[in-house]
Amino acid sequence: MRIVVIGATGHVGGYLVPRLVEEGHEVVAVTRGTSAPYRQDPAWEQVERVVADREAEDAAGTFGTRIAELGADVVVDMICFTEDSARQLVDALRGRVRQLVHIGTIWVHGALTEVPAIESDPKHPWGDYGVQKEAIERLLLAESRRDGGLPVAIVHPGHISGPGWPIITPQGTIDTGVWRALASGGELLLPEFGLATVHHVHADDVAQLVLRCIAQPDAANGEAFHAVSERALTLRGFAEAAAGWFRQSARLRYVPFEEFVQSLPEQHRDAAYQHIARSQAMSIEKGRRMLGYAPAHTSLAAVAEAVEWLRVDGRLGEGIPPVAFPG
């Protein structure tokens, strides 16, 4: 098939695009600029590249038509962040493509009542990002489920992890100083009892679920699926495991949440609040049952791979030993 990937050179696209090429698909990568993908692969040499400024073209009302004119069988949209943007794309693609796969976020759920959360749970999103993504989900599912609507499948990733970029730490931030503290036996502050949760996923496992949606449209269309690892992590368990990668015992101190936030560098405070206040843990039973989704990476394995990349790339400073990967 001819598959257009919008936002193709990002974290997930670095794995998805080569996988699509390897499966024999003709791939068109739509990006805002000409930057290289996070993950290099010879498959990119076979990919058609299209440069488009989505924000500007959405404002002009031309982006959806631009994508439709690429003649895709399937469109994978990695970078849709507003309901209006989604509506423009849907209106342009309706009747012209076999399937749209939308990449959402587990933040559509907001505050959870029961865990692990399932896709059909009542949603209580908060914050502009989560609210907009939940509105997009409602729009796309209604569109896909009505007669004559555009077939749509939705993939909701957790905290995307992998080599090539900073990932969410046991403090809910991307502060590389957390890894240095754990690697050197330094003290690390955690909020309350450290039992809030974070739920990672390797970028390649998100790509896997997208591929399964494309391969099984009759099962995937009109549905949303969580793309996360098998199990979420508590902050304290996460910190203890990560310290063990460096043959250290975690030195953790638990403090009230406000004190914890104030102890962080100012640029990391909002991220800590956003992740810890949501404290999400998601089920993948639906994806497993309907599509055969089987993440290849645990949360700890996905993060360990990313941290080792940070170390090798020199982002953790000098003297940090190699990560002893979890078995």
pLDDT of residue 327: 65
pLDDT of residue 33: 82
Please, is 4 exposed, middle or buried when counting C-beta atoms within 10 Å of its C-beta (0-12, 13-18, 19+)?
A: buried
Q: Outline where the chain has alpha helix (H).
A: 13-22, 54-60, 63-68, 83-93, 128-145, 177-184, 203-215, 217-220, 235-245, 257-263, 266-278, 285-291, 299-312
Residue 168: pLDDT band (50, 70, 90) is very high
The CATH number fitting domain 2-160+201-227, selected from 3.40.30.10, 3.40.50.720, 3.40.718.10, 2.60.40.10: 3.40.50.720
Token pair recorded at residue 7: 């936002």
Instruction: Identify whether 116 is preceded by a cis peptide bond (ω within 30 of 0).
Output: yes
State the average pLDDT over residues 66-90: 98
State the average pLDDT over residues 176-203: 97
pLDDT of residue 265: 96
Residue 173 has pLDDT above 70, yes or no: yes
pLDDT of residue 63: 97
Amino acid occupying residue 77: D
Please, is 147 exposed, middle or buried when counting C-beta atoms within 10 Å of its C-beta (0-12, 13-18, 19+)?
A: exposed
Residue 39 has pLDDT above 90, yes or no: no
pLDDT tens track for 92-143: 999 999 999 999 999 999 999 999 999 999 999 999 999 999 999 999 999 9
Axis crossing angle, helix 83-93 with helix 128-145, rounded to the nearest 10: 20
pLDDT of residue 325: 83
State the average pLDDT over residues 78-95: 97
Q: What is the Cα 122 distance to its own chain's centre?
A: 21
Q: Outline where 71-127 has alpha helix (H).
A: 83-93
Measured distance CA(221)–CA(91) in Å, rounded? 17
Domain ranges of the chain: 2-160+201-227, 163-198+232-280+297-312
pLDDT of residue 40: 85
Nearest of 48, 45, 77, 47 to residue 64 by alpha carbon? 77
Amino acid occupying residue 137: E
State the average pLDDT over residues 41-55: 94
State the average pLDDT over residues 229-248: 97
CA torsion through residues 230, 121, 160, 21, sign:
positive
